[in-house]
Structure formats: structure tokens, C-alpha cells
Amino acid sequence: MVSEGNNEQSKHNAIRIILILAISVSLMLFALFPVSCSNTDWVNEKVSAQLLTQINLRKEQIAEPIPDRLEVMQNSGMRVDNLEIQRIFIHLSQELNTSQIEELESMGIILYQDSWIPPVGTHPTGFLTADMPIDKLEELAGKDYVVRLETAEQVDKPHGGDQPQVE
């Protein structure tokens, strides 16, 4: 019985490692060889590889739920309470106007307007946080006022965390 339990644990660990490797390879491939959604180049130009990977993971999990994939998604910082919705940063050259807000809200996108950070210094775009239905990615990326789309679902880690901080 003990070896049977260890065998199950080994299978579970192997599946987890395979999923982590698959996600890592996917991120690298998306970065090196951007893919197209419906042959639209602006998706590749506007949507980050990490966001595309997360949306694909959501679609895969909806189509074929796998507990280990869900756990990997959670551990990478993804929200899994509603797989149909992705939290994103919408990069813009200027704050949205009323008609743009209405247009995005009619697509089912929830805008957190109080999160708006304007362009500043060497950063040519501002951004705001939003919740987007995953089936609206291509439509949102097609808006001429949208400069870039990034995931807002990730584990934040300090840069250079091993180095002493300058005070």
C-alpha cells in the first residue's frame, strides 16, 4: 500500500513538472515566434506573450479541466475564480474618453478607471487595469487607441532581490 501511494505521488509530481515545462516552453516560443489570432498582425504587436499564454491556458482549462494545470495557473499568480475573465493592463497614449469607455464596457470589459496611470517621463504610454472576457482579446487589440495589452495576473518579485538595497 505504501508503494502504491508513493507511485501515485510520483505520477502527480511528474504531471506537475510536465505542465510547468510546457508553460515555460510556451512562454519562450510566444516570445521568440509570436503567433497570430485570425491572421491579424496587430495582435502580435499589441498583446504580450505572457498574456497570450495565460489566455490559452484559460481556454485549455475550460475545455479540459486538469487540477494540476489549475494549480500551476494559481501558483503563477493567475486568478482562477472565473476562467472566462482575464485581468489586464490596457496601455494607452492618453486617458480614455467617454465614448471609448462606453465602447469597451459594451464589450463586457470592466474598467478600473481610478487605476489610470498617465504617460510620464520616458514611458510613452499610460495604462489602466481592466477585467476582460477572454473571447474579447482580438477585438480589444483591434482598437486603434489601444497601444499594448499586458497581463495583470502574475506573481510580483523584486528585481535584483539578492542584492543589497541602496538607501
Q: Model confidence over 65-100: pLDDT tens digits?
A: 999 999 999 999 999 999 999 999 999 999 999 999
pLDDT for residue 33: 47
Statement: residue 108 has pLDDT above 70: yes
d(CA 111, CA 102): 10
pLDDT for residue 39: 40
Q: What is the arithmetic mean of pLDDT over 9-14?
A: 70
102 pLDDT tier (thresholds 50, 70, 90): very high
One DSSP character per residue, the chain reads -HHHHHHHHHHHHHHHHHHHHHHHHHHHHHHHS---STT-HHHHHHB-HHHHHHHHHHHHHHHS--HHHHHHHHHTT---S-TTEEEEEEEESS---HHHHHHHHHTTPEEEEEEEE--BTTB--EEEEEEEEGGGHHHHHT-TTEEEEEE--S----TTTTSPPP-
d(CA 70, CA 78): 9
Is residue 43 exposed (0-12), middle (13-18) or buried (19+ Cβ within 10 Å)?
A: buried
42 pLDDT tier (thresholds 50, 70, 90): low
The CA angle 153-156-161, to the nearest 5 degrees, is 165
pTM metric for this prediction: 0.73
Statement: residue 62 has pLDDT above 80: yes
Which of 12-21, 25-34, 44-53, 95-104 has the least mean pLDDT?
Answer: 25-34
d(CA 39, CA 62): 24
